[in-house]
Structures are given as structure tokens and as C-alpha cells.
Chain A
Amino acid sequence: GEDVEQSLFLSVREGDSSVINCTYTDSSSTYLYWYKQEPGAGLQLLTYIFSNMDMKQDQRLTVLLNKKDKHLSLRIADTQTGDSAIYFCAESVTGNQFYFGTGTSLTVIP
């Protein structure tokens, strides 16, 4: 499969911004995704970006894509304790095979 890499852990204080990073290897990736997984639950699609875009903003979430460096980031503004979860980066070329990173566990400190 394709390599999608993320750091395993991130801690931030409540109210600060969180930035979760991801790198991928397949330059033909068409769609790049961010998912959130809360304990004992399935994955929830947060947002996605097409490869022809540099940035996408959705309320507190900002996704940045650097195609040259194959780097994707998710910024969460004003991070809340309810944002504590595991965040997965994923990529897809065809839209029916998805490759996931190992997930970043975000801990928000009150």
C-alpha cells in the first residue's frame, strides 16, 4: 500500500490551536482526508481536500496541502476538550481504495 505517515501524539492546552501533520508518498493522490475517531467509535469524516486545492477552511478546521512536499496538515482553532481523539490522515487515488496513516492521538489539557 501507499505510505501515509503521522506523528503518534500531540498535546495542546485548551483554547490553543492544534496542528496535526501528515506526509504521503503517492504523488497521484487525488483526494486527501482527515478523520476523527473517538474512543470505542468508528471513524468520522471531518473534511477532505482535492489535490488541485491548497487550502480548505471549514469553521474551526483549516486544511493545508503542499503538493510539492506531499504534506497535509489539519489546524484546529480554539481547541476544546471535546476535540481529544485520534485523527487519521488518508489518501486515495481512485476514490475506492483509501490508505490511512497510523493516527495522531490529540490530548487537550484543560
Chain B
Amino acid sequence: NAGVTQTPKFQVLKTGQSMTLQCAQDMNHEYMSWYRQDPGMGLRLIHYSVGAGITDQGEVPNGYNVSRSTTEDFPLRLLSAAPSQTSVYFCASSSQTYEQYFGPGTRLTVT
């Protein structure tokens, strides 16, 4: 099992550009989430999904879109990048036992 994988590891964007952060899991988990981690603020939930075709907003959804067409994949789209979106992004998945597993993170810088 690879667990939760994220690509890319690092990304630099210019303001206004769009991009997709990829997340995949091979544990057949129903629940998947995206978080951003900023210094002194812990992790904040952006969007989450309770199964294929079902997504919902978390605490800080503005500027981000998600979709869940398969159980395995949960991409996060930045529509028009802003410097405030400079952060480390983590994808996570969890099973019915509510044990959440995290990917290694994507470090995004928006200039």
C-alpha cells in the first residue's frame, strides 16, 4: 500500500494562475479531506468528501474547488491563485474507524 500520495511536492505559482493539487489513496477509504497548514494556525479544513460524488465545504473553502469522481482520487483546484494561498496543503483519508491518514504535503508559494 502506498497510503496517501500527493503531487507535486513543491509548486510556485504567479498570482492569477490556476493549478490542481493531486491526491490519491489506495486504502479504499470513503472519507477524504484537504487541509492547509499555516504557521501558528494549525490545520484548517478546506473541503472534504464522504464518498465518490459527494463533497462539502470546510472552514476555509473560498478560492478552492474539489471533485470526487472516484473513491481513490480527490483533486484540489486553485481557480486563481493569490498570495494568501501560500501554504502547505495536506490531503487525508479515513475509514469507518475514523483513523485519518495524511499525505506528505504540497508546499505552495504564490508570488
Complex contact B42–A1 (CB within 8 A): no
Which residues in B have their C-beta under 8 angstroms from that of A44? 102
Tier of interface size on chain A: 20 to 34
Complex contact A45–B43 (CB within 8 A): no
DSSP class of B's interface residues: helix, strand, loop or mixed? strand
Q: How many angstroms between the C-alpha atoms of A23 and B78 in the bound complex?
A: 33
DSSP class of A's interface residues: helix, strand, loop or mixed? strand
Per a CB cutoff under 8 Å, which of B44, B94, B99, B104 touches A96? B94
CB distance from B92 to the nearest CB of A (A): 8
Complex contact B43–A96 (CB within 8 A): no
Per a CB cutoff under 8 Å, which of A4, A43, A92, A101 touches B102? A43
Residue of B nearest to A45 (CB): B99
Q: How many angstroms between the C-alpha atoms of A98 and B42 in the bound complex?
A: 12
A residues with a Cβ closer than 8 A to B are 1, 4, 8, 31, 33, 35, 41-45, 48, 88, 90, 92, 95-103
